[in-house]
Chain A
Amino acid sequence: MRDEEMTEPRPLYSPLSDTPEAYVREPPGVHPPLDYPPYKSTALRHPRQPLVYLPHTITEVTGPALHAALDMSEVDADLTAQHDDDPIGERIVVFGRVLDTEGKPLSDTLVEIWQANAAGRYRHRWDNWPAPLDPNFSGAGRCVTDSAGRYRFVTIKPGPYPWGNHHNAWRPAHIHFSLLGRAFAQRLVTQMYFPGDPFFTYDPIFNSVADARARERMIARFQIHDTVPNWAPAYEWNIYLRGPAATVFEEAW
């Protein structure tokens, strides 16, 4: 590295568009492996050839304004208000911020969620285990982060449910999250879990993340101060998408 590069660090974000030139490469061990035998469905759905290195070009550092294309309203963020009557179950608030790994809030980015109902049943034609559907719960929501990167949903706490991966397999209660971020490179689909779930130990999807501290980052925190009195307990979950590369790195070609 030349001296002037060491004394004058490159600005992280473009002054015009607030866009990084490149994002940090994903560190090994944070995301689960694509080939993970304990989760049986990975067997035929992972590439066997090595991944080819893709430098971050303009295609990877740009991203859509998708919320402008969707006809969104406030009820999209309140999953308890999408039908004539109230859904059954424990009403909760799920809130937090979408940030990059520099701690910069990601504003105007779309957050989409989907989940099972309080009995652990999805309103999907392929989900047919004998738990009741709730006519007042669809289980899908979306919102756009504000200028501080904040999102907030009102929903019903989802139940755990069995699945066919192995004998007596159960998914811990979870809410699926889809984050568009501000760039193709930041795209993330993940799941939010609830603290103290007894099924954590036995779930191959949760445990596909090898690092215990990384697994902790998928678990929301109960927050008494944000709990709405006489109305709904609150769970806070911050989501960190990758941030700008701090230095121009050697391209791995």
Chain B
Amino acid sequence: MTFELTPSQTVGPYFAIGLPWDAGPHAVAPGTPGAITIAGVVYDGAGEPVPDHLLEFWQPDTDGRFADLHGHGGGSELAGFRGFARCGAEVGDGSFELVTVKPGPVPAPASVGGGQQAPHIDVSVFARGMLHRCVTRIYFADESDANAHDLVLSHVPAERRATLLAQADGGDAYRFDIRLQGAGETVFFSI
């Protein structure tokens, strides 16, 4: 017997009383060698910052292994690696900052031809005014060789691929803005 899905509803404006927690923006333990930050702002279709957004990030460690609930894919051996982060903004400037490590490459499924996927982070975007999450991926502009061979990126219209690239921003910092609508609209995926 199969059952039917429970529908999505908006996260609303008041999720901050329940969802964020202090260490939420950290996908790695404090002091993890090679940690990076990825910072940015979420913008709406008028180019205004979205002050009440909730972002979630999911990724493997630098070896391409996940801290999966069931150990799928071998399991990360990086101490304190969670691979999941949650940034719940309640700030007027719509900004977020994720602390993590750069993900390693992971395999692509045989159904799409196999091989390796370029390093990437899956992102869920929630906000008041969004009745369902939007899903995007963060790739890295400084991984141009891997990106050139990534099957998912190859199916994104070439002129829009740059919206998925985190840009090096000095030291261990990267920059990744999310535009929900309009000029430079971020590529969102149907999953």
Contact segment of A49-57, A87-95, A228-236? A49-57
Evaluate contact between B106 and A58: CB separation under 8 angstroms: yes
A116 to chain B, nearest CB (A): 8
Interface residue? A78 (CB, 8 A): no
A126-B189 contact, Cβ under 8 Å, with A57-B106, A59-B58: no
A189-B134 contact, Cβ under 8 Å, with A22-B111, A44-B46, A63-B58: no
Please, which residues of chain A bring their CB within 8 A of the CB of B156?
52
A109 to chain B, nearest CB (A): 8
Evaluate contact between A52 and B188: CB separation under 8 angstroms: yes
Evaluate contact between B14 and A127: CB separation under 8 angstroms: yes
B147 to chain A, nearest CB (A): 15
Evaluate contact between B83 and A64: CB separation under 8 angstroms: yes
Interface size class of A (residues with CB under 8 A): 35 or more
A27-B5 contact, Cβ under 8 Å, with A42-B129, A44-B45: yes
What's the Cα separation between A18 and B72 when bound, in Å? 8
Chain B residues numbered 40-58 whose CB sits less than 8 Å from any CB in chain A: 44-46, 48, 50, 52, 56, 58
Interface residue? B11 (CB, 8 A): yes
What's the Cα separation between A22 and B107 when bound, in Å? 14
In the complex, the chain A residue whose C-beta lies closest to that of B2 is: A101
Chain B facing A: main interface SS: loop
A48 to chain B, nearest CB (A): 6
What's the Cα separation between A94 and B2 when bound, in Å? 24
In the complex, the chain A residue whose C-beta lies closest to that of B11 is: A189
Interface residue? B191 (CB, 8 A): yes
A218-B6 contact, Cβ under 8 Å, with A56-B109, A57-B117, A69-B82: yes
Evaluate contact between A42 and B185: CB separation under 8 angstroms: no
Evaluate contact between A45 and B127: CB separation under 8 angstroms: yes
Please, which residues of chain B bring their CB within 8 A of the CB of A188?
6, 8
Evaluate contact between A122 and B17: CB separation under 8 angstroms: yes
One digit per residue, 1 when the CB lies within 8 angstroms of any chain B CB and 0 when it does not, for chain A 86-116 equals: 0000000000000101110000110011100
What's the Cα separation between A74 and B186 when bound, in Å? 41
Evaluate contact between A217 and B189: CB separation under 8 angstroms: no
Please, which residues of chain A bring their CB within 8 A of the CB of B109?
21-22, 55-58
In the complex, the chain B residue whose C-beta lies closest to that of A243 is: B2
Interface residue? A251 (CB, 8 A): yes
Please, which residues of chain B bring their CB within 8 A of the CB of A25?
190-191
Interface residues of chain B, those whose CB is within 8 Å of chain A, are: 1-19, 21, 23, 44-46, 48, 50, 52, 56, 58-60, 66-73, 82-84, 106-109, 111-112, 117, 120, 122, 124, 126-135, 137, 151-152, 155-156, 160, 180-182, 185-191
27 sampled A-B residue pairs with Cβ under 8 A: A17-B70, A17-B73, A32-B9, A34-B131, A39-B10, A39-B129, A45-B50, A45-B180, A47-B134, A52-B187, A52-B188, A54-B135, A54-B152, A55-B152, A64-B58, A64-B69, A103-B1, A112-B18, A140-B17, A185-B191, A187-B56, A189-B11, A190-B7, A191-B10, A217-B4, A240-B6, A242-B5
